[in-house]
Amino acid sequence: MPPKIRGMNANMTLAKRFTLMLSGEDVLEPEADRPIRNSPERGLPHERFLLGEKLPAAPILLLGQSNTTIDPNLMIACLQPIHLHATRDHLVLMNQNQVELSNEESAKLLKVALPLIEEDFHNPLLFQGVHDWFIPAGPFVSLASHSIDQAHGRNIDWWMPRDSYEVGVAKAWRKLQNEIQMLWHIDSVNEIREQRGALTINSIWISGIGKLNDVHAPQTVTSVANFFGEHLLLKGLSKFLNIPCQPELASSGLANGFGWFNQPQSIWPILEQALLNKVLDELLIIDFPKGLKRERILLAKDLHKRSWAFWRKAEVLTWKEIAQS
């Protein structure tokens, strides 16, 4: 039978439980009992679950890809070179995995934009990766923004950074963004990319503004022994919480582990066998239907479909059936 939704005891820690979190999506159509918002909710459901309502993603992402020592009270912003696709009447933000960008290209684009960035942010850059650049937020600390994971594939008019409690910050960001767009438009990096048929890097995105002291991970996360997954957000949390993180799932070390994967179906056979072979007592699945957190316990006996034909061998549920139940 499908896994059942059961009440969870926050103080109970089982030695042989594995927690699997699934990524959540936005709820774009408001429910009847929810008010209509004049701006999108900040963060995807799993981002809010992992980090807390203030969503300080930038410092956690910085931890996930560098050994930089971070002041826990320093407000940090994440800047990302992006491609905006022009449709007939609006612009669409492309996800970074759709835009190949080399180390050399990223470094050249940053070199051109860096004087403007550091002048407007009133701070030097902290760290530069290929897709993510980090800087103290300075005058942009109050900017309300959205991650590329949340905003990609949609009309950016709805997802552009907005003022929160200080008026004029969003306007200042758009001015800087436009200046960088003009510089990159005539840059040789984009000229070469166009010649080979690659998408140009024609804009810059800001998101994740926050500080480490604003991270509020739930006990479900902070009490585990191991993290498993390839997400930089998870890798950063592992450093912040001092919990080991492995990019791939193995059949050993699953007890009291926490996993988050882009393709959970790929690791399902390992978890299925761990339940059937009593390596694990139970699997806790956390997902976010309609944007709301849901917790389900799956036991070994829940893996098999029930049939009225008792003489037939019980069929094992597929991952698709479990995930959609």
More confident residue, 65 or 89: 65
Could you tell me the pTM of the whole model? 0.89
- Comparing CA positions, the residue from 130, 152, 279, 289 lying closest to residue 207 is 152
Residues 67, 261: Cα–Cα separation, whole Å:
23
Phi-psi map region of 208: left, alpha, beta (phi>0 left; psi -120 to 50 alpha): left
Query: pLDDT digit string (tens) for 122-138?
Result: 999 999 999 999 999 99
Q: Please name the residue that has the structure tokens 């902070």.
A: 222
- Backbone phi, then psi, for 220, in 5-degree steps? -55, -30
Amino acid at position 218, single letter: P
Q: How many CB atoms lie within 10 A of CB 262?
A: 10
Tokens read off for 9: 């005891």
Confidence of residue 96 (pLDDT cuts 50, 70, 90): confident
Query: pLDDT digit string (tens) for 153-186?
Result: 888 888 999 999 999 999 999 999 999 999 999 9
> What pLDDT, on a 0 to 100 scale, did the predictor assign at position 61?
97
Q: How many CB atoms lie within 10 A of CB 307?
A: 11
List Cα–Cα distances, 91 to 10, 29, 158, in angstroms.
44, 21, 11
Give Cβ neighbours of residue 156 (< 8 Å, ≥ 6 apart). 84, 90, 91, 92, 93
